[in-house]
Amino acid sequence: AEAAPAPAEAAPPPAPAEAPASRATVAGYGYKVTIGDQEFVVVAADIAEAARRALDAGRGEVSSIEILGRAITG
């Protein structure tokens, strides 16, 4: 008499998907800051930080700040 065939081994579960190494993350918000007649883009956590960074640049008084949107890195 022949032996019954061995049961097939179950395939291992698939490996979990890994996030790509270059996954983009939100780094804050982009703001257009106007000092005199010059415009700069500043990335900051909030509008107060954007104003402080612009003032720290030492180019004069900030005359306007406009939010551009989320800033991403990666």
pTM above 0.75, yes or no: no
Assign 68 to helix, strand or coil. Answer: strand
Q: Is residue 4 part of a domain?
A: no
13 lies in a domain? Answer: no
What does the pLDDT read at residue 60?
Answer: 86
3-state DSSP assignment of residue 62: strand
Q: Is residue 8 part of a domain?
A: no
The answer on pLDDT for 10 being more than 90 is no
Residue 35 in this model has a pLDDT that exceeds 60: yes
CA distance 70 to 74: 13
Calculate the average pLDDT of the chain.
80
pLDDT (0 to 100) of residue 54: 86
Question: How many domains in the chain?
Answer: 1
pLDDT tens digits along 59-69: 888 999 999 99
Q: Is residue 60 part of a domain?
A: yes
Other Cβ atoms less than 10 A from the Cβ of 27: the count is 14
Range of the domain at 63: 25-73
Is residue 7 in some structural domain?
A: no
* 23 contacts: CB under 8 Å, gap ≥ 6: 74
Residue matched to tokens 């890195």: 73
